[in-house]
Structure 1
Amino acid sequence: MEILLAKSAGFCFGVKRATQMAFDASDNFKSLQSLGPLIHSPQMVKKLEDRGIRVCQRVEDADGEAIVVRSHGVTAGEFVELQGSGKTIIDATCPFVTKAQKYAAELSRDGYLLVIVGEAHHPEVQGIVSYASGEVAVIASAEEAGELPKSRKIGVIAQTTQSFENFRAIVGVCLDKSRQLKIHNTICDATSVRQEEAVSIAGQVDLMLVVGGYNSANTTRLANLCRDKGTATYHVETAGEIDRRWFEGVSRVGLTAGASTPQFLIDEIMEILRTF
């Protein structure tokens, strides 16, 4: 069976940076915590815990010397709490997320109805929303955008892992809803590359495997894009979830992984696929 492995599979720049910052900090502090899971990979979070980096959900529960801000960022209020806690802050927020937070504050301050293309429940989006001081709408689809009220000024940004096609479709709807439209494309370049490569591979294979946390928005989106291509697609977190029966009659399989998926998980799955 031939295996096509995506070159872009695995850690993106922001996740690689955040994990390296956390591991480096673990050498310098006896007690270290992250505010929320550092990245959306339960397996990597476990490795971080093995290095003494514990997860806490609220600033008030943090009892370590230092605290790491996760790659998705935190709310503006939480950051203020951290600054007043007296603890050392290791800010591992992805620079692309920081840029989205900055644009949210600017657009809101300048009187725009802020439209964030993304998933309202996602921690990155919740953090971005918190930097706005005016009206905010989190929109997941062009259909939802159609329900927006007409507004003189609309500013549009995106969750960093959104698909460009969805972003463009929503921007198109907002153009009809406003007299003045300001757009900041805050989608991470690596996200676009990863999605384009996944779709390309899906068009060449009988089956796609997408590896990553079930709580990872970008991994879920990769799997959905591959399914939209009409290719049989399975989203798995670990090698142990793979079922040999999926590969009956399969001569070519594609493999990609989300931005929070560590290399050791990709390697484990490659080893299993080579035995089929």
Structure 2
Amino acid sequence: MELKTKLRVKIAENAGFCFGVRRAIDLTEKTAGKERKVYTLGPVIHNPQEVKRLEKKGIKTLKDPKKVKSGSIILRTHGIPCNLHKKLEENKNINVIDAACPFVKRAQNTIKRLSTDIKSKDKTIIVVGEKIHPEVIALVSYGSGKCIIVENIKEAQKFRGRGDLNIVSQTTQTPENFNSIIKVLKKRYKTKVYNTICKATLDRQKAAEKLAKNVDLMIVIGGKNSGNTTRLAQICSEKTKTYHIETACSIKEKWFKNINSVGLTAGASTPDWIIKEIEMRIKEVGAKHYLEFISAADIK
């Protein structure tokens, strides 16, 4: 009887914190080390476990900035609506620290420029993204009322507008969705495309897809409220069996029955300590299955 080989666990080449998220976390922790009153406007990143870790350091998450009379407010990686940003800056009792991802800022500036450019004054700005996502809500606020959000091909097919179109993207969109929407709109409108998808997002998607093709099972790690992590799970599930989890306690031993190889990837807001905990837990489960298999074989 052939013995089962030890469970192989491999982490995607690009997984976990991206530059923008790491920068935001560093800014938040450095500010907390210097000041007593530190707040973030909304969760600084889309990872509940990391947000809880920061809260233990005294960093409070705000829903309503009006309640803050003094101290430092850190603006989250996804950005905030431009009018709210302006009001916060006008309050001289509050120190505003902008931790928005540089790629998000680039998308905001692109939309702002297109909305004010005399050559584009009659053009509608199509934002490819999720309507309720904080980044998209902030992006639209820079468009002077010229933005329309399109989430998918069906919405692109239903879209009816006048004049030419400028098209930009939520930074964490997949190229497949972005390009498919462009293809639909180009059939009926003259378009100009501004690819504002983040390179780090693309790198994670490509690495996850590559790994998913070569393993029996994929585990995607990250907040259920994270758009880029959800898209990683979608990409992987098209190639192999996939589970999207936030913490090691979500792992179920039955997932690994008859599994020889497991791939791990993680969203851009997932810290290394969570990835390591899950990796260790999977190895523990794999070792248990391996030993049980050998014991059964020895008995026979």
Given the two structures, how large is their TM-score scaled by the length of structure 1?
0.97
* Cα offset, 1:43, TM superposition: 0.8
Measured in 2, the distance between the counterparts of 1:55 and 1:134 equals: 29
Aligned position for 2:100: 93
Measured in 1, the distance between the counterparts of 2:262 and 2:186 equals: 41
Alignment of 1:132-151 (within 5 A): 132-151=143-162
Measured in 1, the distance between the counterparts of 2:84 and 2:246 equals: 30
Q: Does 1:20 align with 2:29?
A: no
Measured in 1, the distance between the counterparts of 2:78 and 2:161 equals: 31
* Cα offset, 1:63, TM superposition: 4.0
Aligned position for 1:48: 54
* Cα offset, 1:41, TM superposition: 0.6
Identical pairs, percent: 41
Runs of 5+ unmatched residues, structure 2 = 1-6, 287-300
Aligned position for 1:206: 216
* Count of residue correspondences: 274
The question of whether the paired residues in 2 share the 8 Å contact of 1:212 and 1:219 is answered with yes
SS at match of 2:164: strand
Aligned position for 1:62: 68
Q: Does 1:249 align with 2:255?
A: no
- In structure 1, give the amino acid aligned to 2:48: P
SS at match of 1:246: helix
- In structure 2, give the amino acid aligned to 1:164: P
- In structure 2, give the amino acid aligned to 1:101: Q
* Cα offset, 1:134, TM superposition: 3.2
* Cα offset, 1:57, TM superposition: 1.1
The question of whether the paired residues in 2 share the 8 Å contact of 1:10 and 1:259 is answered with yes
Aligned position for 1:39: 45
Aligned position for 1:8: 14
SS at match of 1:11: coil
- In structure 1, give the amino acid aligned to 2:111: A
- In structure 2, give the amino acid aligned to 1:8: N
- In structure 2, give the amino acid aligned to 1:241: S
Aligned position for 2:133: 122
Q: Does 1:157 align with 2:163?
A: no
* Cα offset, 1:150, TM superposition: 4.3
The question of whether the paired residues in 2 share the 8 Å contact of 1:32 and 1:64 is answered with no
Measured in 1, the distance between the counterparts of 2:80 and 2:194 equals: 21
1:272 to 257, 267, 281: 281
- Give CA-to-partner distance per residue, 1:122-163, whole Å, 9 cap, x none: 000000000111332111112211111143210111110000
Measured in 2, the distance between the counterparts of 1:62 and 1:233 equals: 43
1:77 to 74, 78, 83: 83
Aligned position for 1:191: 201
Measured in 2, the distance between the counterparts of 1:101 and 1:47 equals: 29
Q: Does 16-25 or 83-92 show the bigger shift?
A: 83-92
Aligned position for 1:225: 235
- In structure 2, give the amino acid aligned to 1:263: D
* Cα offset, 1:2, TM superposition: 0.6
Q: Does 1:236 align with 2:242?
A: no
Runs of 5+ unmatched residues, structure 1 = none
Considering only CA atoms, is the larger Rg found in Structure 1 or Structure 2?
2
* Cα offset, 1:108, TM superposition: 2.2
Measured in 2, the distance between the counterparts of 1:72 and 1:269 equals: 26
Q: Per the alignment, do residues 262 and 105 of structure 1 end up closer, same or farther by CA in structure 2, a change over 3 Å counting?
A: same
* Structure 1 moving runs of 4+ over 6 Å: none
Measured in 2, the distance between the counterparts of 1:2 and 1:63 equals: 53
* Cα offset, 1:64, TM superposition: 4.2
Pairwise CA RMSD: 1.1
Measured in 1, the distance between the counterparts of 2:162 and 2:261 equals: 50
The question of whether the paired residues in 2 share the 8 Å contact of 1:154 and 1:178 is answered with yes
